[in-house]
Amino acid sequence: MENTKNEQTLGEKNGRKNVVGEDQCSGLNAMGVLEQIKGGLIVSCQALEGEPLHSSIIMAKMAYAAMLGGARGIRANSSSDILEIKKVVDLPVIGIIKKEYPDSLVYITPTIEEVARLVACGCEIIAMDATNRKRPNNEALVSFFEEVRRRYPHQLFMADCATYEEGRQAAQLGFDLIGTTLNGYTEESVNDPKPNYCLLSDLVRDSGKPVIAEGNIWSPKQLQLARGCGIHAAVVGSAITRPMEITKRFVKAMED
Amino acid sequence: MENTKNEQTLGEKNGRKNVVGEDQCSGLNAMGVLEQIKGGLIVSCQALEGEPLHSSIIMAKMAYAAMLGGARGIRANSSSDILEIKKVVDLPVIGIIKKEYPDSLVYITPTIEEVARLVACGCEIIAMDATNRKRPNNEALVSFFEEVRRRYPHQLFMADCATYEEGRQAAQLGFDLIGTTLNGYTEESVNDPKPNYCLLSDLVRDSGKPVIAEGNIWSPKQLQLARGCGIHAAVVGSAITRPMEITKRFVKAMED
């Protein structure tokens, strides 16, 4: 009840529907967010430190461009980028924080600290590495996600998985969305086809959760094929928002 | 002789090879520029007023990203964008100024004023509408380009053409590069295939000048086919630097 009141107050204050708090998503809101992105394109707007477009202001403009182009959601990295994006874009945000720790290969929202910061940003969905690789401090996914869910029972969480087994496991652990983000980026999956339509179909059939196609989608044609696998939504990033990577592909076509 | 001296002085001052002046391109430099872009990809970095990424700073970062991705030249619009781009990118620039006049449909570098401003920016190549449509003040292309060439005898000029006839005419008038930029955008060409590989092949065979493929290239595959027509270089713009337009294409794939 208190939560509902806070939500309304903040909602009114900001003139927006996103609110910030320990557990801001009611069950109804969560369903609304899933409905909002259903059948839609989510555009990932990321430029890490060292990339030519690194700047929260520019990422906000990218997200705005994506919204004008018809995107139904934005995926973004870092509190700074997400807060800037939320000033100009009224779409659900899948938030991540990429952070490297010396004792782990997991770098997408690896610890509870990054989760807490993303909750504080009012992310409608929070994504995290859901592979079976050890997290920082030798933590396993299962105990980590138990703690995450205990603290934020109504927040939507997306599992960035690499394999079919990880996708099914994430569904059982209680993730709300199953993504194929890390397919091709782990030892077991590095040789998988790109995009991995088979993995998408299998997870749609067996996970019992909305599946998000993410990773290695470079053309509208590939997106169409991914859609044909029965996915809930798809994330496209580099092909839209990383001009250096796009340039490389065209340059290659001039040289081949 | 004076020109050469000025070039060296300015070149030293800026630590760059681009110089500003009434007629800064020696014949040797011009050949060097053509050689530099030969077989390469030129990335067009434009965001007009009202577009989400409109900003000379952002266009400079886009151009920088394109350079890191392997671009061999940049096409850009407006003195402000070009000067900003030249601060961070050491590639030949094809400069244009888009300006609408009430009495003409020609908007790519329509008058001698825009040409003068582009020369002052030190553009290695200046592109302009080379269709047979009347320019502002009822001026015809032929008399206009005679005046342009008289004032800037050693500057490289690219003809933005819509048809085969216009391409051949531009070559005869003394343009240095023949581009297909306006194919599909004039009354006679609006129904032509996109990209128009046939037009490229015909101009390569008959114009006697380096042909630049520009317009409606959306995929590396299309670029490869354009290259197969024997072009000197190709310009790709929206597919790399206009995230809103790219998003629209992916959104369409989700909806079709």
A6 CA to chain B: closest CA distance, Å?
A: 34
Q: Please report, for residues A35, A41, A63, A160, B126, the alpha-carbon distance to residue A73 in angstroms, rounded to integers and kept in the order given.
A: 11, 7, 9, 17, 40
Q: Between chains, do A244 and B52 touch, taking CB under 8 Å as contact?
A: no
* Crossing angle for the helix pair B79-88 and B112-120, to the nearest 10 degrees: 20
Does residue B52 have a cis bond before it (omega within 30 degrees)?
A: no
Q: Please report, for residues A162, A163, A178, A254, B191, the alpha-carbon distance to residue A223 in angstroms, rounded to integers and kept in the order given.
A: 19, 19, 17, 24, 28
Which structure tokens are listed for B213? 């493929």
Here the ipTM equals 0.90
B65-97 b/e (C-beta count within 10 Å ≥ 16 → b): bbbbbbbbbbbbbbbebbbbbbeebebbbbbbb
CATH number, domain B21-255: 3.20.20.70
Strand partners, B75: B44, B94
Q: Which residue has the tokens 């099914």?
A: A168
CB contact B137 to A (< 8 Å): no
**Rounded to whole angstroms, how far apart are CA atoms B94 and B87?**
15
Query: Structural domain boundaries of chain A?
Result: 20-255
**Rounded to whole angstroms, how far apart are CA atoms A141 and A104?**
12
Q: What stretches in chain B show pLDDT beneath 50? A: 1-26
CB contact A39 to B (< 8 Å): yes
Q: What stretches in chain A show pLDDT beneath 70? A: 1-28
**Rounded to whole angstroms, how far apart are CA atoms A207 and A201?**
10
**Rounded to whole angstroms, how far apart are CA atoms A122 and A120?**
5
State pLDDT tens for residues B9-43: 333 333 334 444 444 444 558 889 999 999 999 99
Q: Which of A41, A58, A248 sits opposite B247 (nearest CB)?
A: A41
Q: Between chains, do B220 and A250 touch, taking CB under 8 Å as contact?
A: yes
Q: Which of B62, B236, B242 sits opposite A250 (nearest CB)?
A: B236
* A228 Cβ neighbours under 8 A, 6+ residues apart: A197
Residue A219 phi, psi (nearest 5): -140, 155
A20-255 CATH choice from 1.20.1630.10, 3.20.20.70, 3.60.15.10, 3.60.20.10: 3.20.20.70
Q: Between chains, do B66 and A244 touch, taking CB under 8 Å as contact?
A: yes
pLDDT for A27 equals 54
Minimum CA–CA partner of B51 in chain A: A65
pLDDT for B27 equals 54
* Crossing angle for the helix pair A243-255 and B56-68, to the nearest 10 degrees: 40
What residues of A are in contact with residue B234 (Cβ under 8 Å)? 254
Give yes or no for a contact between B105 and B133, defined as CB atoms under 8 angstroms apart: yes
Query: In this structure, is the dihedral angle defined by the CA atoms of residues B164, B165, B168 and B173, taken in order, positive or negative?
Result: negative
What residues of B are in contact with residue A70 (Cβ under 8 Å)? 247-248, 251
Total number of residues shown for chain A: 256
pLDDT for B82 equals 98
Q: Between chains, do A71 and B256 touch, taking CB under 8 Å as contact?
A: no
pLDDT for A209 equals 98
To the nearest 10°, report the CA torsion of B167, B168, B169, B174. Answer: 90
Q: Between chains, do A221 and B253 touch, taking CB under 8 Å as contact?
A: yes
What residues of B are in contact with residue A195 (Cβ under 8 Å)? none
pTM above 0.95, yes or no: no
Q: Between chains, do B244 and A65 touch, taking CB under 8 Å as contact?
A: yes
Q: Which of A41, A243, A250 sits opposite B250 (nearest CB)?
A: A41
Going by C-alpha positions, the residue among B93, B82, B97 that lies closest to residue B36 is: B93
Q: Please report, for residues B87, B169, B248, B249, the alpha-carbon distance to residue A240 in angstroms, rounded to integers and kept in the order given.
A: 26, 38, 10, 10
Strand, helix or coil at A158?
Answer: strand
Q: Which residue has the tokens 């005869």?
A: B172
